[in-house]
Amino acid sequence: MSVAGQTTDLEVLTLCLGGEVFAIEASAVREILDPVPVTDVPGARAFVSGVINVRGKIVPLADLRVQFQMALTPPTLDTRIVVLEIELDGDLTIVGILADKVYEVTQIAAAALEEAPRIGMRWRPEFIRFIGKRRDEFIVVPDLNRVLN
């Protein structure tokens, strides 16, 4: 068993947020979209910029950069929306998250996953599920349940 308690390799979608490489479990990814019009929701939490229409369904759109206290940047040609299906409070929920760029689906070896250190992190450690190492780069695997709740 690895330090993080993950016993199998983790299949992830890697993406860029604020110049950092993040990874979302591939099993949670439903689709990847080009940017679409966003409808603002008055009174919504700051990290949920609004809602989008995904195949006739109203889907909240979250910007993880807000939760991770990163600088917000305008969309570019590489900006994508990653549509996820995750369990929140016991219910399967569809949510979109903004990504500055989407890279690839890849494997992170279980042995390369470690729990986030409690000190020295620039983000709240409870938002980080694992830190993975692949080749010479660190990949942040966020705990989406905590980030989105």
- 25, with CB counted inside 10 A (0-12, 13-18, 19+), is middle
Asked whether residue 131 is assigned to any structural domain, the reply reads: yes
Asked whether residue 3 is assigned to any structural domain, the reply reads: no
* 119 pLDDT above the threshold of 80: no
Asked whether residue 39 is assigned to any structural domain, the reply reads: yes
What is the CATH classification number for the domain harbouring 79? Answer: 2.40.50.180
Asked whether residue 132 is assigned to any structural domain, the reply reads: yes
How many angstroms separate the CA atoms of 139 and 21, rounded?
5
Tens digits of per-residue pLDDT, 65-94? Answer: 988 888 988 999 999 999 999 988 888 999
Single out the residue of 85, 76, 88 nearest to residue 16, CA to CA: 76
Residue environment code for 43-67, b if the CB has 16+ CB neighbours within 10 A, otherwise e: eeeebbbbbbebeeeebbbbbbbbb
Q: Which two tokens stand for residue 126?
A: 């409870």
| 94 or 134, greater pLDDT | 94
Instruction: Give the residue numbers spanning the domain of 33.
Output: 10-148
How many angstroms separate the CA atoms of 37 and 59, rounded?
12
* 121 pLDDT above the threshold of 80: no
Asked whether residue 5 is assigned to any structural domain, the reply reads: no
**Residue 104 vs residues 14, 23, 25, 64: alpha-carbon distances, Å:** 5, 10, 12, 19
Number of domains in the chain: 1
Among 14-28, 42-56, 107-121, which range has the highest average pLDDT?
14-28
Cα torsion through 58, 59, 60, 63, rounded to 10: -140
Asked whether residue 68 is assigned to any structural domain, the reply reads: yes
The answer to whether residues 103 and 84 touch, using CB atoms and an 8 Å cutoff, is no
Asked whether residue 4 is assigned to any structural domain, the reply reads: no
Mean pLDDT, range 47-74, rounded to an integer: 91
* 104 pLDDT above the threshold of 50: yes
Mean pLDDT, range 34-50, rounded to an integer: 88
Asked whether residue 133 is assigned to any structural domain, the reply reads: yes
The answer to whether residues 69 and 123 touch, using CB atoms and an 8 Å cutoff, is yes
